[in-house]
A and B are shown apart, each in its own frame.
Chain A
Amino acid sequence: MRYAMAIDTRKCVGCGDCVVACQEQYDIPAGYCRSWIAEQVKGKYPNVSMEMRSERCNHCADAPCVVCCPTDSSHISEGGIVLTDPDLCIGCGACIESCPYDARYFDPVNGNATKCTFCHERVAGGKLPACVEVCPTYCMFFGDLDDPNAEITKLLRERDYKTLKPEMGTEPHIFYLS
């Protein structure tokens, strides 16, 4: 099993519903977030284009945050989901420093490093991640790349896509369809 997310940038309007759903699902303290909207503008007016993206932890196959964790708190879990074990986390912040996507932060309540979990508990229960479930433009897809019949697998077979900062060699599991 290799869980992944695909986000169709032709459809995302950057409304932030994914962010609110995550905040609500995990009761994220004000001022913190596990997902966010990025807007990339290219060109000079009026020859200008824009891409909007919903971003979060990329659940990298070669995750710098896992490699650098001195206590093995940061680990790759079932389905390739990158998680942090709060019992092992000593709050050293190495993972936060190492993440090329700036996806991690210290939870102000317990001091642990934290981030997007791909809603692994929901996913284990057969549900979609909270963000995917609410998206009003249906631009987010989640599934198992090892399942050839999964919608996400088909999309990645048929459509052009990119990952963020591929030069970092992290092998992200979030794909942006174009």
Chain B
Amino acid sequence: MKTNRRDFLKISGLGLGGILASRDIAQTAASTVDELFPGKKRIPTYCEVCFWKCAAWVKWNKKGELCKIVGNESDPLCKGRLCPRGTAGLGMYSDPDRLKTPLIRSYTRKGQYYREASWPEAIDYIASRTRKIINESGAESLALFSHGSGGKHFTRFLRALGSGNYTAPSYAQCRGPRDVAFKATYGTPLPSPEPLDIKNTNCLVLIGSHLGENMHNSQVQEMSQLIDRGVDIITVDPRLSTAAAHSTMWLPIKPATDLALLLAWMNVIIEEGLYDRNYIENYCFGFEDLQTHLEDKTPEWAASITNLDPEKIRKAARMMAQAAPSVIVHPGRHVTWYGDDTQRSRAIAILNALLGSYGRKGGIFIPQAAKIPSYPHPAYPKPKWDWKQTLNGRYSLAHLSVSNALIDASHPDNATDNKIRGWFIVGTNLIHTVPDIPRTIEALQNQDLVVVVDTMPAEITGYADVVLPECTYLERYDDLRASPYREATVAVRTPALKPKWLTKPAYWMVKKLAYKFGLQPYFNYSDYDDVLSWQANQMGISYTELVEKGMLKVPNPSNLYFDPVDQPTFNTATGMIELYSFAFEDEGFDPLPDYTEHPEPPDGYFRLNYGRAPMHTFSRTGNNHFLYDLYPESPVWVNPEVAENLGLRNGDRVILENSEGVSSEFSAKVRVTNRIGPDSVYMVHGFGHSDPRMKKTYAKGISDTQLMTNVMIDPVMGGTGMRGNFVKIRKKSREGLFS
């Protein structure tokens, strides 16, 4: 009955302009700084174009015109220099395709369309549908999918209603396996940003990490310092990535075999006695088991799997050991590849332990984070069930909610009593984020309410019942930033511009919604600086000074490195670093990581490897005019031999078709390059947008997510391995040469 109830609405609302014109609130240019902030020339924020959240200044020129965004010079995450996305932040603000008013899905006999709505109308609509769901099946049947600062406000709203079903794709589609692996090994997951002492290291190993293509600002900056110092950088990548091209050693590994290499490195380090004996003795559990486990994982064994030279494998291991403990085997970030990702991440965690790098200078430091007191509110009601029950006995080591499990709980095939009936989606374009798009859409269609909060008409907004236009980070307050790093800091975001059109901050939306449910006490602020100044006061820092400086340092809660006097403790079963994991053993998973063989592409098919471009964040920056100009669409990289066999030339447009018969909706240009081997193709994630309301980026390039239909789920924690599909290349037509 509900099938196709929610057509994907590609067209913008009928009668667009009515609400805007009638109230004369359309803005075409920014107000001058003198009008907004007399006497000020810069306003503090932290960047929201990616998740690194560099502290920054929005600046005006002498004429009082808004001019640029620059890094905050005292911020350890950017040291005064933003990446291209941060520099281009104004493009997000000025994007003419932004969502401008609330939209409500409406129905006529001819079909469905979005009707522009006022805020009271939209809030009423959401409240009445939400109330119906709560009355019928409890607040537990509401779920939140979010990413970024706006999502935090909606998390509070969901908790105040009584739901514990809030999730972020940054876990099961990204960092989750790594965090579970580090938690099992060291007792604590790695935070974001990763506490890697890159600037002090003497050897940096990148395996599945692409610094320079992912512009994780402080890490890229510090890698640059390593190049200056002539420090060894070892990059493992089937592709000559930017990092590989800047490395002292590049290991062009056969895709999907990284775990074999990691095991062989550990074998060399143990066999040759290169491990940190004191560290192992003092802090680690399970060394003997590990040693036995690795006996036959020789470089020769790994060479036959990885297509690498065994002597090069040995040499790399020795380079790491020589630098130890000032060595980092980078834990990576987007690690959901083949479904054995927690085990691969465990191997990385264990390798770091053998080298004694965790807790050591030049290795992995102990993250220092300011503790932000929570703004007073009544206790949240305890839900009768939450995301843990949606796992149904699966993914037993997941320590945060698994977005795909919540999608399962929302799907018509969910036979359990714990059903999700309403979705709030904030700042995450699930269509480009979660693989197996058809399943996500089936779950969406099964909902009684879908609310999407975004700044842009991303695809996901086309599936909503109500779309709420969020203002950009430049137009709002958000929570204080307390990113863990070498120094504990607090950074503040204050609005530098008036919200354009009818856009609003998320904290304002949840407050309005909360009133409808009598939940005002949970959102007891008039504007959000009430919260920020209260928190600053509680921490003993001056809010005025914080706004003046944008970012303040606060005392570090602990030592940065292990201290011989004050010995570290580890929150594991044994109280030690668990090379052998009891947590894994107890749940029936391999307590020591083992290599799993993954399927090979059939004849005529290639592995689909995807990655990042330094000027884009996921699928969210494609329409930013600065970044679009810089990189309008991702070409498909093809090895010259493959190109010759297939009769492809630079600039040919191709369609990719996966091994399950799914073809890319759009085409992309071929880029013939020796930076990739003959077994794979490569493209940058986040292109191939199917929503024409994003006029610049619409139909530009291919969506990798669309081709991910064979999802390899990690049994340990539910991560969605996204490299399970192979693709063949079909030529579309010949266009101009790619220069």
Contact = CB atoms under 8 A, between A and B. Distances in A.
Interface of A: 8, 10-11, 13-17, 19-21, 23-25, 30-31, 33, 41, 43-46, 48-52, 133-139
B614 A16 contact: yes
A50 B228 CA distance: 18
B12 to A, nearest CB: 22
B654 to A, nearest CB: 19
Contacts of A49: 240, 245
Contacts of B228: 11
B100 to A, nearest CB: 21
B614 A14 contact: yes
Nearest to A36: B630
B252 A45 contact: yes
Given A45-B677, A136-B221, A137-B224, A15 B83 contact: yes
Given A19-B84, A136-B220, 19 more contacts: A10-B227, A11-B228, A13-B212, A13-B215, A13-B246, A14-B212, A15-B83, A15-B220, A17-B83, A20-B615, A20-B626, A24-B626, A41-B240, A43-B674, A45-B676, A52-B245, A134-B87, A136-B217, A139-B224
Q: Which of A15, A24, A33 has most chain B Cβ within 10 Å?
A: A15
B87 A21 contact: yes
B639 A45 contact: yes
Nearest to A21: B87
B242 A14 contact: yes
A175 B621 CA distance: 32
Contacts of A44: 640, 674
A24 B227 contact: no
A2 to B, nearest CB: 25
A11 B246 contact: yes
B675 interface: yes
B729 interface: no
Given A13-B246, A136-B81, A33 B629 contact: yes
B82 interface: yes
A24 B78 CA distance: 19
Interface in B583-640: 614-615, 625-627, 629-631, 639-640
Shortest beta-carbon contacts, A-B, top 10: A13-B212, A15-B614, A50-B245, A46-B252, A137-B224, A17-B84, A16-B630, A45-B674, A48-B674, A20-B87
Contacts of B629: 23, 30-31, 33
Contacts of A52: 242, 245
Interface string B203-221: 0000000011101010011
A136 B252 contact: no
A2 B652 CA distance: 45
13 contacts: A11-B224, A11-B227, A13-B614, A15-B84, A15-B615, A17-B82, A24-B88, A30-B629, A41-B240, A45-B640, A50-B245, A133-B81, A138-B224
Nearest to B218: A136
B220 A19 contact: no
Contacts, number: 117
A100 to B, nearest CB: 16
A135 B697 CA distance: 26
Nearest to B244: A50
B220 A48 contact: no
Contacts of A48: 240, 674-675
A13 B240 contact: no
Contacts of B88: 20, 24
B25 interface: no
Contacts of A21: 68, 87
A24 to B, nearest CB: 5
Nearest to B251: A46
Interface residues of B, number: 45
A44 B675 CA distance: 8
A99 to B, nearest CB: 16
Contact of A16 (B78, B81, B615): B615
B122 interface: no
Nearest to B79: A136
A43 B245 CA distance: 12
A16 B220 contact: no
Contact of B221 (A16, A46, A138): A138
B70 interface: yes
Most chain B C-beta atoms within 10 Å of own C-beta, residue among A10, A13, A31, A137: A13
Nearest to A135: B81
A137 B221 contact: yes
A10 B233 CA distance: 12
B673 interface: yes
Nearest to A43: B674
B646 interface: no
A153 to B, nearest CB: 18
Contacts of B614: 13-16
Given A25-B68, A41-B673, A50-B240, A136 B82 contact: yes
A23 B88 CA distance: 9
B67 interface: yes
Interface in B45-94: 67-68, 70-71, 78, 81-84, 87-88, 90
A21 B627 CA distance: 11
Contacts of A23: 626, 629
Given A11-B227, A45-B674, A20 B240 contact: no
A15 B212 contact: yes
A134 B246 contact: no
A124 to B, nearest CB: 15
A20 B227 contact: no
A8 B226 CA distance: 13
B674 A41 contact: yes
Contacts of B640: 44-45
A133 B80 CA distance: 9
Contacts of B223: 137
Contacts of A13: 211-213, 215, 220, 242, 246, 614
A172 B215 CA distance: 30
Interface string B677-698: 1100000000000000000000
Contacts of B82: 17, 134, 136
A122 to B, nearest CB: 12
A66 B131 CA distance: 73
Given A24-B90, A48-B240, A50-B245, A19 B630 contact: yes
Contacts of B615: 15-16, 20
A148 B245 CA distance: 32
Nearest to A49: B245
B675 A41 contact: yes
A132 B639 CA distance: 34
B627 A30 contact: no
A134 B614 CA distance: 14
A13 B87 CA distance: 16
Contact of B83 (A10, A33, A51, A136): A136
Contacts of B78: 136
Contacts of A8: 227
Given A137-B220, A138-B224, A24 B67 contact: yes
Among A8, A17, A23, which residue has the most Cβ atoms of chain B within 10 A?
Answer: A17
Contacts of A33: 629
A8 B83 CA distance: 17
A48 B83 CA distance: 27
B84 A24 contact: no
Contacts of B212: 13-15, 137
A8 B230 CA distance: 13
Contacts of A136: 78, 81-83, 215, 217, 220-221, 224
A10 B223 CA distance: 11
A36 B485 CA distance: 33
Contacts of A133: 70, 81
